[in-house]
Structure formats: structure tokens, C-alpha cells
Amino acid sequence: MTTPDFPAAFRETLAARRLRVLDRLGDGVMVLPASPVQYSSRDNERPYAPDRDLYYLTGLAEPGAVTVLVGGDEARVVLFVRERDPEAELWAGPRLGPEGAQERVRADACHPLSELSQRLPELLGGADLIHYRLGRHDEVEGMVLGALATARLRGPRQGTGPRGVIDPGEIIDELRLRKDESELQSLRRACRITIAGHRAAASAMRPGAGEWVVEAALEAAFRGAGASGPAYDTIVGSGVNACVLHYVRNGDTISEGDLVLIDAGAEVDHYCGDITRTYPASGSFTPAQRRVYEVVDAARQAAIEVTRPGATIRSVHEAAVRTVVEGLVDLGVLSGSVEDLMDQGAHKVFFPHQTSHWLGLDVHDPGDYAKDGKSRPLEPGMVFTVEPGLYFAPDLEDAAVHDYAGIGIRIEDDVAVTGTGCEVLTSDLPTSAADVEAMATGS
């Protein structure tokens, strides 16, 4: 994969991100190697997926790169990239090379990757801490461990050298958690294309169609609208398959009366959309399906309504859980006081997952959900999903749930916290039972 050219505004954004990291590094050094090339079998390469931290700071999207951020009085950013190689580029596409990467990223220095073993030990030698994610790159990790070993031998006499390794996420995760305007624009595009894909999927969904047919229509719409592809493995779960949270086989045929749960997102500019809708394959919900659906949609709406600066990510989940528990009591599935049932976690049999996860360059983006033992307050720029669900396993024997056995429903939107509330990035894809039935029938 070739790194595209950078508009001037994106260069400035990248430079500002690197400065924020350098400010937080102190006398440390951060080392970020590119993701390895993945193979499906033998020498068949999979589409390349860049390391998200490295991309966040440099915009580089080709294999082999290593970025080193050196803190301290002489703070600088040093890149190592593969050299140009006409024969290799004939097979795998053009490379930037050191000169191209230097021009593109505007780092302080850029060297051939072949010089990494010569130059990296010196860059690490003056650090007090090395920010590096262990287990990611054998060659780089050997140099990191070598720097620590050298410091153990010489440090007591010289008072210099790294004394520990810390995960880069201690710095980068916090930065990535709050999206800047360029990131929000990419996320909005990803959500718009995700919506287009879901509409295509709804049009392809009918009794007798294969789940794979719906998947193909959805992902074709992603590509046709300019996405690089799906942000994660698409879920098209019909009937009891909708009760499997991460069902991705998509190999069954949709039957009359089935619900079809579609969980899919487009990747645009390496940013992820993530939407779930649940449709009646025959065009209309049965009375039991509709009752469950309306509980889930009410929980989704309740969670969105509490999303604002100063609220906590836990309060979003609690709003959804409360509405789910109230609904389960109304359905006759649970009995007792709502408060007691929530304290007991009685809903977890039917709603076993959290309501939200952070969203961005990764579909499960980094960032702590709690700090100092307390749920994290929401801030403008945070983006996350709201995705309550109810799943009634087909083999449940309790008479109270007999009418709902085999029903699986999840409804998911993507939201961005604003200065006064939130922006529902996926609001153009409706959730009401009537609107979903209309999409299922193409009306």
C-alpha cells in the first residue's frame, strides 16, 4: 500500500500531534514500528493494515516504517523506512523511500530501514524510559532490550540510560480518545458510507436469500461509495444466529419470519463506522419481536439522551440497563423491583455486554473507561457507540421467555460528544420499528 500525498492541513495536524507526544515524553523515547505484513497462505499477502498509533502521528500507511520520537532538550522525530527497490515495487507497488517519506511527513530526519540497527541504540541510550509496546516487532524489541541491558551495566556509574519500558498507550491513548475536527470529518464520512451499505443490505435481505448475499451487497456498497472496505468482519445473523454476539460465518439461508441482525461498518481514511440494525426478513415484526425491539430501541434512545459533557461513560450504560430492565419486567421476563434487579445484574442473561466502546481509527478504539477507580467523565471530541441488545437463547426453558426464545436484537448508533450534548453520526439510518419495516420492504 502506498501512503497518499498529504494536504497541507493534514501535515500541520500530524505535526501538532507529534508535538503533544514530545511534550509528554520528558526525557523518554517512543518507538513505533509499522504493522507486519499478514499472509493468508504462503506468499499471498492480505490487504495491508497500518499500525494505528504510527499512522496517527505520521500518516504513513506502508510496511517497514519505524518512527522514533526523542524527548528532552533536543526533541526530534526520526523515521526509518524501506529504500526504493524497483523489482520489489513491481510486485507490491511503489515505496516512498527515505526522501519521499521525509518530504511527506516533514520529520526531523529520515533514514533507510537498513540503518535502524546502527542508529536506534544511540537514540535509545539517552532516554530514561522507552515507550514501546512489547511483543510487536522482534528486531526492534531486541534493540530495546539491549538498551536496557546496557543501562543496567553502565547506568550506575554514568547515571544515564533507560531503566524501564512503558506502553506508548500511556501517552497516545489519551490523545486518540479526543478526536480533532479532521478525525470527526473522517468519522462522519465513514458513517455516511456505512449507512449506504446498510440500506443496500436491507434491500438485498429477504426470505430465501443467503446471509452471504446480504453481506456481499453491503460490502459492495461500501466499496462503491469510496470506502477501503469493511472496518471489521461483517455480521449478518438471521434467526437464532442473531443471538451469537460475534457471528461472522454468514453462511445460512434467511427463513420466513426470521429477524436479521446486521452489524457492519465501513473504513474510510482508516477511520471506522459501526452500525447495527435488526430487520424483520418478511417485512413485519411479529408481536413478540416488536415488543422486544421496542425495548431495545428505547434503551438506545435513553443512553443517547444522557450523553453530554460531564456525564460518565458508566451513566450511558446505566441508562440503557435501566430501560432494558424496565422493559424485561413489562415483558414478564423478570419480576421484582427495577433497582434490585439492576443491583443483581439480572439483565445480564439477556444483555451480557456493555452499551458502548470508543470508536475511531480502531473499531474498539483505545482509551480508559475509568480513571482512579471512577467512571470516566465524557468530554467534547470523544466518540463511542451506543448498542444495547437483547438475546434470548433458543434453548431457554423458562416459561416466562418462551414467546421470545430465539430472538436476538441489537441496535447501534455512533455518537460524538459535543460542547453541549452529542451528535449522532448515524442518525440518518432510522431505528423506529415502523421505519425498519419500511426499509425491509423497500418502501
Cell of 301: 434512545
Q: Alpha-carbon distance 382 to 366, whole Å?
A: 11
**Helix 433-441 × helix 287-305 angle, to 10°:** 120
Say which DSSP state 210 is in. B
- List, by residue number, the catalytic residues: 43, 246, 263, 274, 353, 357, 364, 387, 391, 410, 412
**Terminal Cα-to-Cα distance of the chain (whole angstroms):** 41
Which letter, b or e, does each residue of 124-140 get, where b requires 16 or more Cβ atoms within 10 Å of its Cβ? bbbbbbbbbbeeebeeb
Half-sphere exposure of residue 278: CA atoms within 13 angstroms, side-chain side: 33
Identify the burial level of 367 via C-beta atoms within 10 angstroms of its C-beta, where 0-12 means exposed, 13-18 middle and 19 or more buried: buried
Cell of 374: 471512577
Only one residue has cell 463506522, namely 273
Element (H, E) at 2: none
Q: What is the DSSP string of 220-275?
A: HHHHHTT--EESS--EEEEGGGGGSTT-----SBP-TT-EEEEEE-EEETTEE--E
109-112 and 29-33: which strand pairing?
Answer: unpaired
Max Cα–Cα distance, the chain, nearest Å:
78
Residue in 68, 208, 186, 194 with CA at minimum distance from that of residue 127? 68
Q: Alpha-carbon distance 394 to 242, whole Å?
A: 11
Output the CA–CA distances (angstroms, integers) from residue 233 to 48, 184, 199, 363, 389, in the order listed. 15, 23, 18, 11, 19
383-386 and 130-131: which strand pairing?
Answer: unpaired
Each as own residue / partner, the long-range contacts of residues 149-158 (CB below 8 Å, 24 or more positions apart, any chain) are 150/121, 150/125, 151/125
